[in-house]
Amino acid sequence: MNINTTARSDLDVLTALNRDYIHSVQHGDVRRFDEILADDYLCSNPDGSLVDKKQFLAQTARPVTISGLTAEDVKVRILGDVAIIHARTSYTTADGEQGHGRYTDVWARRDGKWLAVSAHVTRDRRAFGGPGFSEGARMVVKPQNLLVIMSDEHNPKIAGYAGHRIVGTPALDGLAARGSRFTAAYTPSPICVPARASLATGLPVHRHRAWDNAIAYDGHIEGWAHALRKRGHHVAAIRKLHYRGHPDEASGFTESPAGDAHHGRCRRSHPLGAGPGRHPHHRQEPHRLGRPRRKQLHPV
């Protein structure tokens, strides 16, 4: 057999093995994977974890939640007894959305037989479902929940984890014990509504221009909530954000399930902001517009 015939034979074999790999991912075929994976096989998953053959087979055995998995633009490079396969993938999630990804597999010829020794998988969009990698670690990953808590106008020294002798903050203390504290961080505004706009956008007040409590964030500058929605996350706002009274989508949220997160409680009134005294739903009481009333102190 000449060199060209041998190369063509190897290309045909590797092309068929690549088809078997994709088919085994789609159908959770643990037996076929056990045949074509080397004992020292390693796979780099989309979440950054590295699994060996035994762990990969366990992932493959979990229920498959995608359909229509195909490999496109397949490129096979044969470098002696090593071959590298690059390809794009497309599939349909359980929710009917299209997902895409890429993978690079490394194959080695051992005792005259091609075996997969390594795989690296990336994804363009997350496909959620199942208790973990429900289709052999090829693009499907368990979604991560993200909870953002804003303790409004809270002096960081007034907390149990900060060593305060009187104030108890057990929930915040628990978060601090399990996470990281940024002791040099500071708020871009001492006023709650502008601070929330900065938290949403990552911008200082002079950039998003929500100067005070009468000029609330309206979503015209997209923030992290918009970015999460574009990645397929369900983003909910709970309780008082005091955003503008627009539909949830404008501020980036999928819904506001528990109360007045941003139902028109703050509206734009004056270009420089006028505080609560000029809010259309506030009575313009003299002591709010002018000097605060002095309390009368009476001897007891």
Bridge partners of 252, per DSSP, are none
Third-level CATH fold of 3-123: Nuclear Transport Factor 2; Chain: A, (3.10.450)
Q: What is the pLDDT of residues 174-220, one digit of tens each?
A: 888 888 888 888 888 888 888 888 988 889 999 988 888 888 888 88
Between the alpha carbon of residue 9 and those of residues 33, 77, 111, the distances in Å are 22, 13, 16
pLDDT at site 6: 59
H helices of the chain, in order, are 3-27, 30-36, 53-60, 170-178, 192-201, 205-208, 224-230, 248-251, 286-289
Q: What is the chain's length? A: 300
Q: What is the pLDDT of residue 247?
A: 53
Tell me the one-letter amino acid at 31: R
Per-residue pLDDT at 244: 65
Query: Which parts of the chain register pLDDT below 70?
Result: 1-7, 125-144, 244-249, 256-300
Q: What is the per-residue pLDDT for 257? A: 59
pLDDT tens profile 9-48: 999 999 999 999 999 999 999 999 999 999 999 999 888 8
Residue 3's identity, in one-letter code, is I
* Sign of the alpha-carbon torsion through 43, 44, 47, 51: positive
**In angstroms, what CA-CA distances link 242 with 202, 237, 288?**
17, 11, 20
Residue ranges per structural domain of the chain: 3-123, 187-289
Q: What is the pLDDT of residue 223?
A: 86
The pTM for the full model equals: 0.44
